[in-house]
């Protein structure tokens, strides 16, 4: 029965995080699951990886995305497709209240405290911050193709995993 439930769960929508991949025409998504150890009767984290079809290149490394199983496999590895980007990397939103979050506090609360006690010169302003991707090619290399460096070369390639 456990195997039937696992197969049914894969057919529905899954929530996962985009991770770097070597494949050029697919996106690799890590889905976190809890697996029951029947000897200890405890749940342990288990990561499952899915290669997803992403023709529009919607997701970048670190994004939380929604994926759905394809009616038929595109290749031996590509079994799912990316439906939408739920949370872009670095822009965290509380799913219950819909408010923006910075670490463990709401941004509204941080702004309210700054208004009450006076804003520091070194305080970060989220409203004036540029959107993600403005440092692409300078310090953000998530859009560059990655590959596994199997050979030893004299120069160090920054895009190799």
Express the helix, strand and coil content of the chain in percent, nearest 5 each: 15, 35, 55
pLDDT value for 45: 95
Residue 116 within any structural domain of the chain: no
Residue 128 within any structural domain of the chain: no
CATH of the domain at 58: 2.40.50.140
CA pair distance 62, 12, nearest whole angstrom: 22
Residue 105 within any structural domain of the chain: no
Cα distances (angstroms) measured from residue 37 to each of 30, 31, 33, 46, 108: 21, 19, 13, 11, 42
Residue 60 within any structural domain of the chain: yes
The secondary structure of residue 135, as a DSSP letter, is T
Residue 154 within any structural domain of the chain: no
CA pair distance 79, 81, nearest whole angstrom: 7
The secondary structure of residue 94, as a DSSP letter, is -
pLDDT value for 146: 64
Length of the chain: 161
Q: For the chain, how many structural domains are there in total? A: 1
Domain of residue 52 covers 2-87
pLDDT value for 159: 64
Q: In the numeric block, which tokens belong to residue 44?
A: 């342990």
Residue 130 within any structural domain of the chain: no
Per residue of the chain (161 residues), give pLDDT as tens: 555 656 665 568 999 999 988 887 789 999 999 999 999 999 999 999 999 998 888 888 889 999 999 999 999 999 999 999 988 887 778 889 989 888 889 989 988 888 888 877 667 778 788 877 777 777 776 666 665 556 666 566 666 65
pLDDT value for 153: 61
Residue 16 within any structural domain of the chain: yes
Residue 112, SS3 per DSSP? helix
Of the candidates 128, 32, 11, which has an alpha carbon nearest to the alpha carbon of residue 81? 11
CA-CA-CA-CA dihedral for 138, 107, 30, 59, to nearest 10: -50
Residue 161 within any structural domain of the chain: no
């Amino acid at each position: 029965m456990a195997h039937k439930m696992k197969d049914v769960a894969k057919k529905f929508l899954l929530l996962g995080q985009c991770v770097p991949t070597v494949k050029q025409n697919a996106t690799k998504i890590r889905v976190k699951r809890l697996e029951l150890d029947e000897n200890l009767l405890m749940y342990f984290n288990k990561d499952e990886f899915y290669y997803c079809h992403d023709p529009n290149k919607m997701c970048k490394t670190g994004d939380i995305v929604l994926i759905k199983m394809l009616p038929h496999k595109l290749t031996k590895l590509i079994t799912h497709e990316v439906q939408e980007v739920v949370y872009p990397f670095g822009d965290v939103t509380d799913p219950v209240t819909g408010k923006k979050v910075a670490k463990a506090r709401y941004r509204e609360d941080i702004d309210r405290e700054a208004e009450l006690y006076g804003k520091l010169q070194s305080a970060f302003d989220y409203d004036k911050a540029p959107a993600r991707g403005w440092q692409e090619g300078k310090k953000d290399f998530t859009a560059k193709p990655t590959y596994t460096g199997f050979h030893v070369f004299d120069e160090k390639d920054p895009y190799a995993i």
